Amino acid sequence: MGSLQSLCSTEHLDASCSQCQYSTPHTKQLSLWSLPPLLVLQLKRFELSTSHGTYQWKKLSNSIDFPVHGLDLRGLLSPIDGGHDDSEPCTDRCFIDALDPRVRRGIEYLQNELNIPLSSASRSCTKYDLYAVVNHCGRGISSGHYTAHIRRPDETCWWLADDTVVTPLSEDELSPSTTAYLLFYVRQDVASGATELSDLFPTN
């Protein structure tokens, strides 16, 4: 998706030293260290605008094209120093060794307090398939109607869930969309069963 590429593109900044006031060019870039087994993307469907001195939320109904199969995020991964092979799964030690010591408290919080195993992330499998979409129909942020497009893991067909009414849906009707709000993706190694979620997130 072009919006993801734009989000992770290089941003050029002009900054000056607080002591000498000398201005020098800088760059800033967001990149991903590794990729989660499940990915949720929220599309920007509302923006805050001003009208006659008051602020109000405006609904954005742009038509957005998103991939149903094979969303590849490899181009968003940050390069690794230290000889780590991307064909091998990441381990907790990979994260701890590569990250700045100042963020290790956050790593410890993820592991110890939230029980999130960092080995669930991957750099070798970078492709995702869509399995659900939440749609918002309406003109405002405080009103409207939500529907969902869903696909069962053991099925190839899609379904439209509209309150208590569930009807079949053609895959061609998913994208592009003017109402899609949340996109749910599963990493292909998890979708194929090569990697089990129960192994990544053990309950015991």
| DSSP sequence for 43-66 | ---EEEEEETTEEEEEE----B--
pLDDT of residue 136: 94
pLDDT of residue 5: 77
What is the C-alpha separation between 180 and 175, in angstroms, rounded? Answer: 9
pLDDT of residue 59: 87
Every domain of the chain and the residues it spans: 34-79+91-199
Strands (E), 29-150: 38-42, 46-51, 54-59, 71-72, 127-137, 145-150
CA distances from 110 to 70, 113, 114, 183 (A): 28, 6, 5, 24
Q: Among candidates 128, 147, 136, 151, which has minimal Cα distance to 39?
A: 128
Burial class of 151 by CB neighbour count within 10 A (0 to 12, 13 to 18, 19+): buried
pLDDT in tens, the chain (204 residues): 677 777 778 888 877 777 777 777 778 887 787 788 899 999 989 888 887 778 888 888 899 999 999 999 988 887 765 444 555 555 545 555 555 555 566 666 666 766 665 666 777 889 999 999 999 998 888 888 999 999 988 788 999 999 999 999 999 999 999 999 999 999 998 888 887 777 666 665
**Residue pLDDT, tens place only, 60-103:** 889 999 999 999 998 888 776 544 455 555 554 555 555 555 55
What is the C-alpha separation between 12 and 35, in angstroms, rounded? Answer: 26
What homologous superfamily does CATH list for 34-79+91-199? Cysteine proteinases (3.90.70.10)
pLDDT of residue 166: 95
